[in-house]
Amino acid sequence: MNQLQERILKEGQVLGGGILKVDSFVNHQVDPNLMDVCGREFARLFANIGATKILTAEISGIAPALTTGIHMGLPVVYARKTKPITMPDQVYLTLAPSHTKGRMVELIISPEYLANHEKVLIIDDFLASGQTILGLVRLAEAAGSQVVGIGTLIEKNFEGGRDALKPLGVPIESIACIKSLDEGKIEFVD
């Protein structure tokens, strides 16, 4: 069992409705040492895909994307959920449903940070339905970039996200893959 799985079992809370709360080490408070271990693992898994940039969504994807960027020597771009006044008028924008927010959220990227011909590695905290990641794919494609891999800290494989992403034809890696959260019990894929 890897360190992330151990931490999920120790501190993760099943809230029902397919929600796994990992706020104490990923989503609200971040354990930098654990994220460093995860970033190192993503760097190993994606060492040979030729990525030139890492893309994620704010806010929970930033920590694993940043540590992956450190270990791969790549810049990290994150899609904002609100447009600051410092961002240009012309942006890449898409909508994606947020399972934890219970509504659609905007994903916005400034064209100055995602250009044509980038080879993009997407790193995020969760792979559930795959809709947020598909939103990031749309942004990369709108910028003329190519997605070359997808990595997530935690995959809830019972929500079908991997199947939604398979048509992309890129490597998809998850550090911890959960088979079930039934009856409040966390069960990992072997």
Residue with tokens 């898409």: 94
* pLDDT value for 102: 72
Average pLDDT of the segment spanning 58-75: 96
Q: Is 20 exposed, middle or buried, given 0-12, 13-18 or 19+ CB atoms closer than 10 A?
A: buried
* pLDDT value for 15: 94
Instruction: Please answer whether residues 67 and 44 qualify as being in contact, where contact means their C-beta atoms are separated by less than 8 angstroms.
Output: no
Q: Which of 69-73, 99-103, 156-160 bottoms out in mean pLDDT, i.e. has the lowest?
A: 99-103
Is pLDDT above 90 for 115? no
pLDDT digits (tens, 9 = 90+) for 138-171: 999 999 999 999 999 999 999 999 999 999 999 9
* pLDDT value for 87: 83
Is pLDDT above 70 for 1? no
Average pLDDT of the segment spanning 95-104: 78
Per DSSP, the three-state class of 177 is: strand
Average pLDDT of the segment spanning 57-72: 96
pLDDT band at 100 (very low <50, low <70, confident <90, very high): low
DSSP-derived letter for residue 157 is G
Q: Report the predicted TM-score, pTM, of the whole model to 2 decimal places.
A: 0.95
Closest residue by Cα to residue 136 from 70, 62, 188 = 62
Task: Read off φ and ψ for residue 76, nearest 5 degrees.
Answer: -120, 130
Ordered structural domains, the chain, with CATH: 3-188 (3.40.50.2020)
Residue with tokens 């080879």: 119
Higher-confidence position of 82 and 129: 129
Instruction: Please answer whether residues 116 and 10 qualify as being in contact, where contact means their C-beta atoms are separated by less than 8 angstroms.
Output: no
